[in-house]
Homo-oligomer: A and B are copies of this chain.
Amino acid sequence: MWIMRQGAAPGNDRELRPKQQASAREILDAAATAFSERGYAATSIDDVADVLGCTKGRIYYYYRTKGDLFIGIHLQALEWALEAIGPAAERADLEPAEKLRAMVHQHALHLMNRSSYMGPAQYQIEMNLASEGRSKEAQMTKILEMRRQFEDYYVTVVKEGVAAKVFREADLNLLVKAVLGAVNWMHAWFRPDEPKDSPTERERIAAEIAEFAVRGVLA
C-alpha cells in the first residue's frame, strides 16, 4: 500500500505513539463509511475529510493516494473476512453441512458487523483502480489472492459434501457462486441503522441465510 510515516526522531523509538495509530485507522474508517455511502468513484477526498471533520491535508499525510485508501479498506475487509470463516472452515469435527452452515453464518455476521468495509470491498478492484495503471499491481495481486483463498474455503467444504454424498452432485464452482451470492447480496439490502437492527436480529438473519444456503446444496 505505502508505509505510514512514523516520525522516527532519534531517541524517540520506544515512545508510545497512540495518536498516530489511531488517526490512520480513523481515516480508514471514515473512508470506508464515505465509500460505502456514495461509492468509491463518486466520493471525493473532501467527502472523507468531512466525515472526520477535518481537511484533506490530514488524509494525505497518512495515505498518498485515494487508491491507497481503497486498497487499505479491501485488505482490512478481507483479513477480517478470512478470520470470520477460517475457524469454522478448519474444524475437523463438523460434518460438511454443519461446517457450511457455520461458515455462511459467520460470513453473514461479518458482512453486517463490518458493512462499511465490506460494501466497498465488493467492488471489482480492477475496474476501480484501472486509472492507477501498474503502480499498485502488487497489492491488487494480494487482494485477488485473499479473495481466492476465501472462496477456496467454500469450494473445499462443498467438495467434501459432494464426496460424502450429502450435497448433490452439480457444478462445484456454480454451487459456490450461488452460496456466495445469497450472502454477498446482503450489501444490497441490509441497512445497519434500521430501527429493527440489533445483535439478535443479525443472528436471526445470519441463521436464515445459512439455512437457505445449506438447503440449496443438500442432496
Residues of A bordering B, CB below 8 Å: 37-42, 122-124, 127-128, 130-131, 170-171, 174-175, 177-186, 188-189, 204-205, 208-209, 211-213, 215-218
Contact = CB atoms under 8 A, between A and B. Distances in A.
Contacts of A40: 41
Contacts of A215: 215-218
**This chain: copies in complex:** 2
21 contacts: A38-B127, A39-B41, A39-B123, A39-B128, A41-B42, A42-B130, A42-B131, A171-B208, A174-B208, A175-B208, A175-B212, A178-B185, A178-B213, A179-B182, A181-B181, A181-B182, A181-B185, A182-B182, A182-B216, A184-B185, A184-B188
Given A42-B127, A181-B182, A216-B216, 15 more contacts: A38-B127, A39-B128, A41-B41, A170-B211, A171-B208, A174-B208, A174-B209, A178-B212, A178-B213, A181-B181, A182-B216, A184-B188, A213-B216, A215-B215, A215-B216
Contact of A181 (B41, B130, B186): B186
Contacts of A186: 177, 181
Nearest to A122: B188
Contacts of A218: 215
A70 to B, nearest CB: 12
A104 to B, nearest CB: 10
A97 to B, nearest CB: 13
A205 B127 contact: no
Q: For the complex of A and B, list the 8 residue pairs with the smallest distance between their C-beta atoms, beginning with the closest.
A: A181-B185, A41-B41, A216-B216, A41-B42, A212-B216, A178-B212, A181-B182, A178-B182
B174 A180 contact: no
A148 B60 CA distance: 42
A189 B174 CA distance: 10
